[in-house]
Homo-oligomer: A and B are copies of this chain.
Amino acid sequence: MKSAILILSGPSGAGKSSIISAAADKIGDFYFSISSTSRQPREGEVDGRDYHFVDKEEFERGIESGDFLEYAVVHGNYYGTSLKLVREALDAGRLVIFDIDVQGYHLAKAKMGDLITSAFILPPSLSELEYRLKARATDRDDVISKRVENAKKEIKEIGAYDFVIVNDDLDRAAGEFVAVANAARLKLSNKERELFVKNWLSS
């Protein structure tokens, strides 16, 4: 299967992780892109699962040599997506899946737009989003409020996405995600297209 990039955005609480888990055995080999950070691991965080933990100097050398698809500094710590890991996964024919916010999507699209298919995933309603965030009880009330406000802003940008998945039923949403992921593999990058046309015409 051909490599491709699939970008997922949507509020925390949309169920993106559950959808990917439910769809994992129906979309071929994929690489879920994990951010790199220069901050210290927190209790319970695992290197390579939650983040790729690298030291500040290594991160800065990476920036110097253009190794990040996008990066930001938050509270003095670097966070970013290693282009090297993405490229390795693409070279191995994998579907590279990103879970990033709308801003990160625009940055990635500016750099590798011809490789990217995108989907915005969201819960069926604003009230359901609030309910899910409260029910999972991992965030403080002020964090939940901030997430909800953020979702209200982000949903206004869904027009920038190719597809919209509403997660009111996990099975159905996972099925829709499978369709989007498998369609994403059928998108040719500019480079792939040039080669394809050349080969086809001489075959």
Residues of A at the B interface (CB closer than 8 Å) are 119, 122, 124-128, 152, 155-156, 158-159, 162-165, 175-176, 178-183, 186-188, 190, 193, 196-197, 200-203
Chain B CB within 10 Å, residue with most, of A124, A128, A183: A183
A186–B200 touching, CB < 8 Å: no
Per DSSP, chain A at the interface is helix
A203 contact set on B, CB distance < 8 A: 124-128
What residues on B are CB-neighbors of A162 within 8 Å?
A: 162, 183, 187
Query: A164-B188, A179-B179 known; A197 and B126 CB under 8 Å?
Result: no
Is the Cβ of A190 less than 8 Å from the Cβ of B119? no
Copies in the complex: 2
Q: Does A193 contact B126, Cβ atoms closer than 8 Å?
A: no
Measured CA separation A179–B175 after assembly (Å)? 10
Q: Is the CB of A163 within 8 A of B186?
A: yes
**Across the interface, which residues of B come within 8 angstroms of A155, CB to CB?**
197, 200-201
